[in-house]
Structure 1
Amino acid sequence: MADGPSCTVGTPFRPRGRQVDRDEARTRWSGWRSREIEISEDLPERPVPVEIRGGWTSNFQIFPLRRTSSEIVTGGELGWTRGVRPTRAVVPAGFNSLRVVRRCPGRSVGGVARWRLSVLSGEELPHLSGTVSGSGAAVFRYEGGPAGVAFDFHSELAANALVFNRARGGEAIHLSRHSQFKGVGRLPGAGFLSVPDCRRWVVKVL
């Protein structure tokens, strides 16, 4: 299925069966075509955690965009939905929009399931401390001071790197290379750690 036309502002997603206040309405969107969503009128000085859900028959990618009166800059891929499992990612500081792209890997059609995207608060993310493990992409909030962080993707080369976004803003920090599945990085302080989509991973704060 071909990508549809983009929009500068997404349509708010209002779950059925309950009233949605104005603040929530500005942080939830849905659709089934590819489209652009404006998450902030200005360029945010801090990173923004988000969550996107697809469907059993559809896959979607999300990319950050910096849209101003003089330029449009697209950042690297933030995430890819896998069925109905929610995918979390962090929009780096300085990007005020998201591009949701419908993908059809290995098929001539991309299904009819919709995507649903929400802006999250930091408190909705799991806290990073000690050793954590899991599978698939994940985002953690880190509230400590400077520390080392060890990672092990169990010999799998992930499509994306281990990325850290400082809570106070600034450019995203890549703690691993695309060709690296085991190593040690450095957390500069409070922020969000994005773990790439792997079948199995372990992350440990040192």
Structure 2
Amino acid sequence: MADEGRFRASGWRGREVEIPSSLRAAGPVVLEFKGGLTTTFRLRAMRRSSAHKSYGEEITDTPGPRARRAMLPGGYNRVEVSRVSPGNNTGSGFARWKLRTLDVAELSVLKDTLSGRNDDVVFFDGPARCSFVWEGRFESGRLRFTSVTGGTAREISAEHAVRGVVAVPGKGFLCVSTWGPWTLKRL
């Protein structure tokens, strides 16, 4: 697949990264964020204009080199990358971070059963019912659906549920947010 329309950014320090308006206008923006072996970085949604700056929710973080996928919430035009220090008297590592946008073709499509680990984004080609199971030792997570046309993400899983069945309302993206292994099964 050609890298022509893909956006990439990287760095060693925390900073604001503007997501190009051409990508935001095309629909929901799927991000892949990767840190280094010895460093944790946090990614947070941000909106900035010439007169105002506001922060949204934390999108994801990277405690290690595993890539994490997440959605940029609608209405935000930037992300803030910050290096996380584990304590006042400790360093925060020396690795760099990498951020890129993904095309729909790069996402997993839930046809039958799909398993993963940590934050990810799964594509649905239409309405469906699916079961979920959080299998990690923390056993918590959430599922949010964003339509392929954009708009606000909608929470579709029950809070504190470790397993259940959800209805995916249509074609779009299902954000899986959890700290451990998970399994989704299309019913």
Common fold: TM-score over 0.5: yes
Residue type of the alignment partner of 1:34 = G
RMSD: 2.4
Structure 2 residue corresponding to 1:123, chosen from 84, 90, 105: 105
Between the aligned partners of 2:104 and 2:4, the Cα distance in structure 1 is 20
Q: Report the Cα distance in structure 1 between the residues aligned to 2:69 and 2:131, rounded to whole angstroms.
A: 21
Alignment of 1:18-33 (within 5 A): 23-24=5-6, 27-33=7-13
Q: Which stretch shows the higher mean deviation, 184-193 or 41-50?
A: 41-50
Match of 1:66 in 2: 47
Are 2:74 and 2:152, in contact at CA under 8 Å, matched by a contact in 1? yes
State the TM-score, normalizing by the size of structure 1. Answer: 0.78
In the superposition, relative to structure 1, how do residues 129 and 111 fare at CA in structure 2: closer, same or farther (>3 Å)?
same
Contact 1:43 1:93 in 2 (8 A): no
The 3 A distance-change label for structure 1 pair 117 and 59 is same
Deviating beyond 4 angstroms after TM superposition, the runs of 4 or more aligned structure 1 residues are 21-24
Structure 1 unaligned blocks of 5 or more:
1-20
Q: Does structure 2 retain, via aligned residues, the 8 Å contact 1:156–1:181?
A: no
Deviation for aligned residue 1:92: 2.1
Specify the SS of the correspondent of 1:156. Answer: coil
Residue in 2 that maps onto 1:135: 117
Partner residue in 1 for 2:30: 49
SS at 2:160's partner residue? coil
Aligned to 2:15: 35
Measure the CA separation in 1 of the matches of 2:111 and 2:23: 30
Q: Does 1:98 align with 2:68?
A: no
Q: Please give the alpha-carbon distance, in whole angstroms, between the structure 2 residues aligned to 1:52 and 1:63.
A: 11
Where is the strand percentage greater, Structure 1 or Structure 2?
2
> Paired residues, what number?
183
Distance 1:173 1:119 in 2: 21
The runs of 5 or more residues in structure 2 that have no matched partner are none
What does residue 184 of structure 2 align with?
A: 203
3-state SS, counterpart of residue 102 of structure 1: strand
Conserved? CA contact 1:148–1:184, under 8 Å: yes
Find 2:96's aligned residue among 109, 114, 134. Answer: 114
Deviation of 1:57 after TM superposition, in Å, equals 0.9
Equivalence for 1:8: none
